[in-house]
Structure 1
């Protein structure tokens, strides 16, 4: 595996959107992203203050991405991992673990004290995050309201 990990730049956004759409429109997510909505999601994430986005590449091909941002919480900085995916055909190769390891290294160097994310309950994604040291928060619950 000759994977390289680097910070994303605006020139990557279209390729990241295509990759994102491919990852999340497939099982198990089966979402309905279009090229336009995926590009808007990527741009919205990347324009968030204190954004840090990484892409994993095999040659010129994106095989993984991690997008999120840091924010102040009391006396600490926390990082909210908004989007994380690995190519469906490349899972279980260590790409996701390598991407998180690189992300953790960068966050710790920047003084970030905590990372958190949201994912679907009782899925392979939840199992992956738990394997990577994430835990279910005993204090927090996600709340939603639809309009």
Structure 2
């Protein structure tokens, strides 16, 4: 069952996020405190859109998004999405994306955008869900030491 995200879901979502990203694929080291803070920033966003995946009365995944205004349209940017590791590859991520797509259609938004790590299974998942590579976009980073 998919439900609208509520503030009371934050801790459980942070715990799931840690279980997804603190591994050899993603090589992250989230603590509960940093994960809660990170997700809370998205939730606090003025145009936040979020949903949780519930199975047997327990949160098992979530998607955090926001509406993003662009010069020629408004779209939904997927900031974060995660499914408990034991439930991945069973269609639950697609279910969450479908709910966000429905939201976008109901609000007459242009589409969904996101960024992800190219060296993980995530790009294959998103392509399977009809996302395409934006060849004109380059994600850049500058470290400040």
TM range (shorter): over 0.9
Q: Which runs of 4+ in 1 moved over 3 A?
A: none
Q: Deviation at 1:141?
A: 0.7
Q: Deviation at 1:27?
A: 3.5
Rounded to whole Å, the distance in 2 between the matches of 1:19 and 1:48 is 21
Q: Residue 112 of structure 2 corresponds to which residue in structure 1?
A: 115
Q: Deviation at 1:30?
A: 2.5
Rounded to whole Å, the distance in 2 between the matches of 1:96 and 1:9 is 19
Q: Which moved more, 1:23-32 or 1:88-97?
A: 23-32
Q: Residue 58 of structure 1 corresponds to which residue in structure 2?
A: 55
In the alignment, is residue 25 of structure 1 matched against residue 22 of structure 2?
A: yes
Q: Residue 10 of structure 1 corresponds to which residue in structure 2?
A: 7
| Match among 80, 90, 115 for residue 87 of structure 2 | 90
Rounded to whole Å, the distance in 2 between the matches of 1:94 and 1:114 is 21
Structure with bigger strand share is 1
For structure 1, which runs of at least 5 residues remain unmatched after alignment?
A: none
Q: Residue 135 of structure 1 corresponds to which residue in structure 2?
A: 132
Q: Deviation at 1:75?
A: 3.5
Q: Do the aligned partners of 2:62 and 2:96 also contact (CA within 8 Å) in 1?
A: yes
Q: How many residues align?
A: 144
Q: Residue 103 of structure 1 corresponds to which residue in structure 2?
A: 100
Rounded to whole Å, the distance in 2 between the matches of 1:123 and 1:21 is 16
Task: Give CA-to-partner distance per residue, 1:99-132, whole Å, 9 cap, x none.
Answer: 1111111111111102111111143110000000
